[in-house]
Structure 1
Amino acid sequence: MQHYYFPVPEQPYLLWFQKPDESTEAFNTDHLGFRFTVSGDRRTSPGTYQGDGPVRLLAGSSSVFGVGASADETTIASRLWSEYAPAEPWFAFGGQAFNSAQELVLLTLFHHMLPPVSEIVLFSGVNNLVVSRLPEEHQGVHGAHYQAEPPVDDSLVPGPAERVQRAADRTAAHLRTWQALATAMGARLVFALQPLAPWVREEPSKEEKKLFAELDKASNFRSVHSDIVSMDVGRDYATALEKRCQEIGVPFVNTTQLLAERATPKDWLFVDRVHMTDGGYDMVARILAEELELR
């Protein structure tokens, strides 16, 4: 994980994005800042693709970028391209710590550089729920982002039910525009809920227990977000998002539930409560390919 703790340069319109032409033992980015996806001896990205298409987009935030993956080969997009849905190249079309507004802006800024797109899987949802904690003054029309100042008074924090509805409404508002763009592009759009570790199972694996205990010493994530990391909130959020997806006409994949059904107590899925291991990302890639009947 040490390779993933790096400054994210400021960018107009997006607020921030990954550093371009970055090369580490764990990941590599193209000249635009997108991470490469890999299949065998081939690798590609939005900034380097030379073919005529079509391609597939895995869109979202840090889990799409692949924080926690040990190499470019083990991200969700790479596992889809190399193993589970290899018929067309996949782009890892995500930015770290993005909310749904930033995810949408990313597409509008780089759409003109894309070849024909057949499939868009929007793997998202967590960050909108996390920043829903911020008070109304930071929410605006399009929702808060991670650079907003946190409230100093916990009494200003909305309750879990309000946070779920607020986050689901923000996500749905931007999803409608995603749907309009996908239709214009001739692409199928699917929304897949990004899982949190506590939503998947009550009892983490032994490796996750050790990691979470260490992370809790250095981070306040669990204490600050204790009201949304229960399985009940995870189920409520999935239900709210699924309802909105149905209203918009976008297929919904409850990745959290499907992971819970497939994972064994010994499966080490997460490196922290948001990001996954190579094995976790591989399981998500397999689930997406099977649920969406991708080849």
Structure 2
Amino acid sequence: MRQTELLTPQLSDYLDFLDRGEMRYLPYLMYFNRPNFRSAAINTDRLGFRISHGPDGAGSVGGERLDGPVRLLVGGSVSLGYGATSDATTIASRLWTKHAPSHPWFTFGAPYLNSTQELLLFMLHRHLLPPVDEIVVISGFNTLVMGQLTGADVGVQEPFFFCNEYFEKMQELRARYADTAKPKRWRAGPRPASQSVAPTPGRPTTAGMIRSAVDVTLRNLDSWLVMAAATGARVSFALQPLATWLRETPAPQEKLLFDEFDTLSDYGTWEERYGDVGSRETGAAYAAALGEACARKGVPFVDTPARLAEVVDPSDWLFVDRGHYTDEGNDVVAQVLADSLGLT
């Protein structure tokens, strides 16, 4: 039996949940969670938002409307709670149930989202929310790692997951219109080949990727602050913890899982895919740059990897893979967020 089947059997539900053949595509946002998904580990509402649990019940963005105020945990797969054994053991649920239970917490994220998509998700669903008093963005890795993708012509926006597929389809569409849109006699000469991807200049430096990711995050935080001001909500930013940003040596269970993932991956080992992006040095430099940027904007910032390192033991099993957490990991991250931000 594989270690993933033995130690993290719930991941089979997440693999089903993330089936690309069942992916839900949304206008503007590109993609989002599957709606009305049901399993032992993860369940979503009619819109695709994961259901959170509190001491007196459950709630979600697309569920029964609560009076409010509510609180939002915004981000990608970390906010969603990828890897938790149940809806009740996500970070949002642990905040609502134990660490900051004065108001309900909603998960407000989906796998693969970058900083701009997180903002768009809020813009598209804000009208469905009751009053909001806290918005905690726990994010960072997707925006940083997308900086490795060069040559994608996305203008002033950052690349997003699966954007190569998007550009390929758009190039096919442009080519089709080039053949059919105008009569041949209107053309003075041969039409240049349709270009959807700019020439690739080479992989940027890690320092350059950090600068770009911080700039994008800061630009989007400006928009978060403008929108939150209308409701009086506080906006905070927490850098999501990676296993490799937290400690050099994983816990025993983590090592078994990480080694197996590297062996089974169709995309190469973690080192081959992310290299120095996943190093502790990069994590520390990224946290320092984000912290300085947030301070300039007056946005509370949590260096979650550093805070976790202060409260966990080397043998604590926190990760189901290098980017997502066990139930214990979700609980301790929730505690760190509550303590760092003064949440009750």
TM-score (norm 1): 0.96
Distance, in Å, in 1 between the alignment partners of 2:113 and 2:307 is: 24
Q: How does 1:3-152 map to 2 (within 5 A)?
A: 3-5=13-15, 6-7=18-19, 8-40=23-55, 42-149=57-164
Residue type of the alignment partner of 2:91? I
**1:199–1:229 Cα contact (<8 Å) kept:** yes
Structure 1 residue 51: Cα displacement? 2.3
Assess, with a 3 A threshold, how the Cα gap between structure 1 residues 250 and 273 changes in structure 2: closer, same or farther.
same
Distance, in Å, in 2 between the alignment partners of 1:162 and 1:37 is: 37
State yes or no: 1:277 paired with 2:326: yes
Taking only aligned residues, the RMSD between alpha carbons, in angstroms, comes to: 1.7
Distance, in Å, in 2 between the alignment partners of 1:240 and 1:34 is: 31
Which of 229, 252, 269 is the matching residue for 1:183? 229
Residue type of the alignment partner of 1:84? H
**1:138–1:148 Cα contact (<8 Å) kept:** no
Structure 1 residue 100: Cα displacement? 0.5
Structure 1 residue 184: Cα displacement? 1.4
Distance, in Å, in 1 between the alignment partners of 2:278 and 2:138 is: 18
Q: How does 1:179-258 map to 2 (within 5 A)?
A: 179-219=225-265, 220=268, 221-258=270-307
TM-score (norm 2): 0.82
CA radius of gyration, larger in: 2
Distance, in Å, in 1 between the alignment partners of 2:277 and 2:101 is: 36
Percent identical residues: 46
Assess, with a 3 A threshold, how the Cα gap between structure 1 residues 277 and 40 changes in structure 2: closer, same or farther.
same
Q: Please give the secondary structure, in 1, of the residue aligned with 2:278.
A: coil
Q: Please give the secondary structure, in 2, of the residue aligned with 1:69.
A: coil
**2:151–2:201 Cα contact (<8 Å) kept:** no
Distance, in Å, in 2 between the alignment partners of 1:41 and 1:245 is: 35
Distance, in Å, in 2 between the alignment partners of 1:179 and 1:223 is: 37
Q: Which deviates more from structure 2 when the two are superposed, residues 33-42 or residues 20-29?
A: 33-42
For residues 79-128 of structure 1, give each alpha carbon's deviation from its aligned partner in whole angstroms, at most 9, with x where no partner exists: 00001111100000111110001000000000001000010001111100
Structure 1 residue 222: Cα displacement? 2.8
Q: Which runs of 5+ in 2 are unaligned?
A: 1-10, 166-196
Assess, with a 3 A threshold, how the Cα gap between structure 1 residues 260 and 138 changes in structure 2: closer, same or farther.
farther
- How many residue pairs get aligned? The number is 294
